[in-house]
A and B are shown apart, each in its own frame.
Chain A
Amino acid sequence: MSKPYRLSAGGSRIDRNRRVSFSFDGRQLTGFAGDTLASAVSAAGQRVFGRSFKYHRPRGVVGLGAEEMNALVGVGEGARHEPNLRATQVEIHDGLTAVSQNRWPSLTFDIGAVNNTFSRFIPGGFYYKTFMWPASFWKHVYEPFIRRAAGLGKAPEGRDPDSYEQIHVHCDVLVVGAGVAGLAAAEAAAKAGARVIIADENPVFGGLADISGGAIDGLAQADWALAKARTLASAENVHVLNRTTVVGHWHHNFLMLFERVADHDPARLRTGAPRHRLWKVRAHQVILATGAIERPIAFANNDRPGIMLASAARGMVERYGVAPGASGVLFTNNDDAYQTALVLKAAGVAVRVVDSRARADGPLPAKAREQGIPVDAGSVISAVNTSFGGLSVTDVRIASYRKGQGRVIKETRAACDFVAMSGGWNPALHLWCHNGGKIRFDDQLQTYRPDRHADRITAVGAANGSFTLASILEEASAAGSRLAGSGNVHPVPAVMQAGQQPMEPIWFAPATGKYNEGNKHFIDFQNDVTAADLELAQREGYESVEHTKRYTTFGMATDQGKTSNLNGLGVLSEATGKPIPEIGVTTFRPPYTPFSFGSMAGVLTKDLFLPIRRTAIFNWHTAQGAVFEPVGQWRRAYTYPRAGEDNHAAIAREILAVRNKVGLLDASTLGKIEIRGPDAAEFLDRMYTNVFSTLKVGKCRYGLMMNELGFLTDDGVTVRLAEDHFLMHTTSGGADRIAAWLEEWLQTEWTHYRVFVTPVTEQWSQFAIAGPRARDVLKKLAPSFDLSNEALPHMSFVEGRLGACPVRVFRISFSGELSYEVATPSGFGLGLWKAIIEAGAEFGLEPYGTEALHVLRAEKGYIVVGDETDGTTTPVDVGLDGLVSKKKADFIGKRSLEQSYLKGPNRKQLVGLLTEDPGEVLPDGAYAVRQVKDKPPMEMIGQVTSSYRSPTLGRSIAMALIENGRARMGETLSFPLPGGKVVRATITDTVFYDKEGAKLNV
């Protein structure tokens, strides 16, 4: 059934001396270096590349490049598999493995093809009308079936072994597309001195130059293009990028370029080159020279394998030396496509032309006739016949046609094994429209062209609807010079090209049979949307083109309607009697063609995915086998289990060490901010809820911060270093936020305050030495200052040295024990840390982690912002009314505390909880209910905010926010847990340990 189609000569892209072996669906094949998968497989005589989305019809290659919608394949194996690639863009290399998609069990025999038989019952939008009974069947029967049938290719298996990256570049002029228009524009811009980037999605520059005839400056178009590509590549101010698709255009001339660095070259990939690179380009000016895309013609069964675009047929022959078949019919409505007939003829392939125009007598048709090519003007293809299963074309019917004619009158049969079609050309407007460019309908070209754009972007060449070489080169050169800021227009090269007669649109070719019923005129091939589907959507009231699109899925396939959009509008126009511009267009959205998620992640995966912040002690923690906990971007030691110990045991041990001996905590992550200026104290009075202007030099004070809504956002200890100088501590998570917050108020509201703020968090390593023996440990380190309770009482501060190490010591406590926080410049951090460990050994010092810290503070009833508070909690709610100044006229959040709901009745208030069973630990977040019922719903009156097993007290403790909690001391609450268990707990004070604070002042 298949025969080889490689021609004995020709093929500008291939190197016949370099054979390449690859496989397709397990079949070993050889092609030549330079072949695409499409050309190499076609050369081997294979027509069918895949099955369509809905009807599972066999499909072959239609296009030449990015517009391909049928021949989608999966390439590579296992974790390197990539689905849905266009065979027309896959460059073959030795060892490449490709598979067809959406077929089972095989390409030629596919069970899903029954859908085609039933296609009459499943028109556009059918699923909205059925699959509703019984209701549960949707989830369990219908939907799984639909999902399995849909979906095209398969996902890879496993983690991607390849790498990706990104780069930012700025340029004066970005030229998109390196056809003759792009090359001419880039050259003119470069000559004018601009920094130019020119990118093209293809491996080779030149666009369609090589298959478009004509000459420039006495050279064949392709040779001219090659010469220009060389000049540009060697220029100092130009960067050329091939295999690079400009995928999107965003505000302010930001564009994204998707470079396939090594897909085509496994050897390069093996060296470690990134597979893809995403270029983020900020261009002062953009020149769109993206060319045009040929459109198919809607005739019955126009989707059969072997039916392709005229440009694709001639590209096959000229670029790859592959004949699309043994004999073909060219169906056109324009002169340009006659070049395909001429090329085929020259390659020895029999061809005849069917032209829907009443007359075809321009120079190209004339030449065709001269060459003996039969031309049927005023005709259309009215039927396509195939071999069994629709796998290949056997013949077509040709019917006479007059413009607007709805049904077939006279037919003849023509044997052929392929069809080339051309319904005219559509400028590639995608990038023009991504960012709001306006377009207008051109009656002569019967297509949309660029109109106005708010950004600095200009379309030239075929992208601008200019199809003659003279006009392309003229506007491209002019744009290049002008946009590079040069007054001199670069000389426009001289051209030679055959003239062309105007095309005539044909949106729907009448077919054999009554009213064309049952015939499929495909508009969107990949999604199996036919002209009848579009008409049905209209009849059912889905009139807006956007409704039609969504109801039928027309234009929503992986080609995003590159070949179908305009044909669809043509059909809609004929169905409604409205001119095309009144139909409207759907929105063009990025990307131009799909690009990899891997490239969007770039190198930011694995260890580089979101930074991890490390304290100076990080490696020590790791070496000790610490379990880590993420706190913001920090990794903090959670606990240090010893051999044979689980986390619980380790945490209990650490807590008891602090309570009975001494512990050491890496608290370096705490935010630290220096604040200085004559108005510093007053400024702090505004930022904190409590008063700081009364703080004595050398003393520390705990402060609360609210946001303007009156909710707690941060807390910490601030020390007054001098009359006009403070050092503020914030929570670890709040450090950057609070520093920015202070700056913001200074810069935007209280601009008259003379205050400077400098965050110094990372300058300091800071450790808490806590426990009854803390002073002993410090003493051993030879402090340069007096450590006695009198000289350095609770909530005071001293600066000096521990041995040789410069330190700041804060006598503050978050554990309720005698405690010093010692800060030293981070470079000394590890040294000091080790010294403390060493000095502490004889006192039983143990490092403790964040979980022990949390239990210790809970035993003391200290809140953690973010645990006891949740963004809707006020200082009053957590019982810290005492820290909300009544005297200060204004501070942040003060006014909101007056809002009725915030001071209303029934606020949830922070209380302690003791479970009836001391061994029972309430789950975090458990809710108390007003009344326990057999089943939900039950009315909730508050929730547990922190809950721990306290090794100190030998029982569980918890804190909770409970409706009117403070008025309910002694009341017992019920917490219904999953599985029906109800835990009962009694409301108490929040301080469970050392209520008098005796341990602090020793």
Chain B
Amino acid sequence: MSELSHESPLAGVTPPPGLSVSLREITDRGMIDLRGHGSDQAFLSAVKGALGLDLPLRPRTSAGSDDLRVLWLSMDQWLILCPRTKAAEILAALRSALTGVHSLAVDVSDMRAVIRIEGGGCREVLMKGTSLDLLDAEYRPGCCRRMRFAEIAALLSVVEDNVFDVYVFRSYARYAWDFVCATAREPARVRLFGAQDAPA
């Protein structure tokens, strides 16, 4: 085999013209699924040793920086985000720190597609696919949670005020992308609350 080509789930797919938000795939993200008990001090300190940061223990929150961010998935599950090139190294560090501690860390960098949606009105676009109240104060930057999106499971992460990442399993990437394209068409734009024309 000559060289190692790596293809992202949405390789070659571009957003159609006329969308009310901007849309792209994020391809360089490494992901590690980490399981262990949030109540297990040995686990927590081993992870801290390996990652240099505390796991977020509050539901639907995340911790860390742009380079290394940990999303809370459950009381005993986290998703570690890092540059793709660092994933193997971080996984190795984690595994060695966790030797003897009941846990499971798996590289899942290729398991999901990440769709970034940004721009004013992106909450409304997302609300065409989820029953979550994205206008609620909980959905501020750093917040993350799993959700049902259209007909599939997804993970939502609030990056900035009008910037959201939607994680879906790789095989559904095209479906999720097409769904967002269908609901984000400019003529279908919805702006919730705030000044409107009066129904004269």
Task: Annotate A804-841 by CB proximity to B: 1 below 8 A, 0 otherwise.
Answer: 11000000000000000000011111111001000100
Specify which chain A residues have a CB less than 8 angstroms from the CB of B104 in the assembled complex: 674, 676-677, 725, 756-758
B106 touches A831 (CB 8 A): no
Name the contact of A616 in the complex, choosing from B1, B170, B195 (C-beta under 8 A): B170
B190 within 8 A of partner (CB): yes
- Give CA–CA (A334, B35) in the complex, Å: 73
With both beta carbons as reference points, the residue of chain B lying nearest to A269 in the complex is identified as B187
B196 touches A608 (CB 8 A): no
Given contacts A603-B182, A674-B104, A835-B1, contact A226 B200 (CB under 8 A): yes
Specify which chain A residues have a CB less than 8 angstroms from the CB of B6 in the assembled complex: 827-828, 831
The smallest beta-carbon distance between B46 and chain A, in angstroms, is 15
A949 within 8 A of partner (CB): no
The smallest beta-carbon distance between B196 and chain A, in angstroms, is 5
The smallest beta-carbon distance between A273 and chain B, in angstroms, is 4
Specify which chain B residues have a CB less than 8 angstroms from the CB of A782 in the assembled complex: 1
Instruction: Identify which of residues 94-127 in chain B touch chain A, using a CB-to-CB cut-off of 8 Å.
Output: 102-104, 106-112, 124, 127
Specify which chain B residues have a CB less than 8 angstroms from the CB of A832 in the assembled complex: 1
Task: Annotate B163-200 by CB proximity to A: 1 below 8 A, 0 otherwise.
Answer: 00000011111110011001101111010111111111
Specify which chain A residues have a CB less than 8 angstroms from the CB of B170 in the assembled complex: 616, 762, 826
A554 within 8 A of partner (CB): no
- Give CA–CA (A467, B151) in the complex, Å: 46
Name the contact of A233 in the complex, choosing from B130, B188, B195 (C-beta under 8 A): B195
- Give CA–CA (A754, B151) in the complex, Å: 33
B190 touches A167 (CB 8 A): yes
B24 within 8 A of partner (CB): no
- Give CA–CA (A835, B2) in the complex, Å: 9
Instruction: Identify which of residues 277-292 in chain A touch chain B, using a CB-to-CB cut-off of 8 Å.
Output: 277, 280, 282
Name the contact of A604 in the complex, choosing from B150, B173, B174, B188 (C-beta under 8 A): B150
The smallest beta-carbon distance between A75 and chain B, in angstroms, is 22
Among B76, B103, B199: residue with most chain A CB under 10 A: B199
Chain B interface size, as a band, is: 35 or more
B111 touches A762 (CB 8 A): yes
A603 touches B179 (CB 8 A): yes
Instruction: Identify which of residues 121-158 in chain B touch chain A, using a CB-to-CB cut-off of 8 Å.
Output: 124, 127-128, 130-133, 135-136, 150-152
Given contacts A233-B197, A803-B1, contact A608 B175 (CB under 8 A): yes
- Give CA–CA (A764, B9) in the complex, Å: 12
A781 within 8 A of partner (CB): yes
Binds B, one of A238-246, A370-378, A961-969: A238-246
Given contacts A760-B108, A803-B1, A828-B6, contact A168 B127 (CB under 8 A): yes
Specify which chain A residues have a CB less than 8 angstroms from the CB of B169 in the assembled complex: 762
Number of interface residues of A (CB under 8 A): 78
B196 touches A272 (CB 8 A): no
- Give CA–CA (A205, B124) in the complex, Å: 25
A674 touches B112 (CB 8 A): no
Specify which chain B residues have a CB less than 8 angstroms from the CB of A634 in the assembled complex: 171
- Give CA–CA (A677, B102) in the complex, Å: 6
Instruction: Identify which of residues 757-792 in chain A touch chain B, using a CB-to-CB cut-off of 8 Å.
Output: 757-758, 760-764, 781-782
With both beta carbons as reference points, the residue of chain A lying nearest to B6 in the complex is identified as A827
Given contacts A239-B193, A760-B108, A804-B4, contact A272 B151 (CB under 8 A): no
The smallest beta-carbon distance between B123 and chain A, in angstroms, is 11
- Give CA–CA (A195, B137) in the complex, Å: 13
B135 touches A756 (CB 8 A): no
Specify which chain B residues have a CB less than 8 angstroms from the CB of A882 in the assembled complex: none
With both beta carbons as reference points, the residue of chain B lying nearest to A635 in the complex is identified as B171
Among A226, A237, A827: residue with most chain B CB under 10 A: A827
Ordered by A's residue number, 5 sampled pairs between the chains whose C-beta atoms are within 8 Å are: A168-B130, A168-B131, A234-B196, A236-B195, A603-B182
* 5 tightest A-B CB contacts, nearest first: A803-B1, A242-B199, A613-B171, A170-B133, A611-B175
16 additional A-B pairs beyond A272-B185, A835-B1, beta carbons within 8 Å, are A166-B128, A168-B131, A170-B135, A205-B199, A229-B200, A233-B196, A268-B187, A271-B187, A274-B187, A282-B131, A604-B151, A614-B174, A758-B104, A758-B108, A762-B110, A839-B1
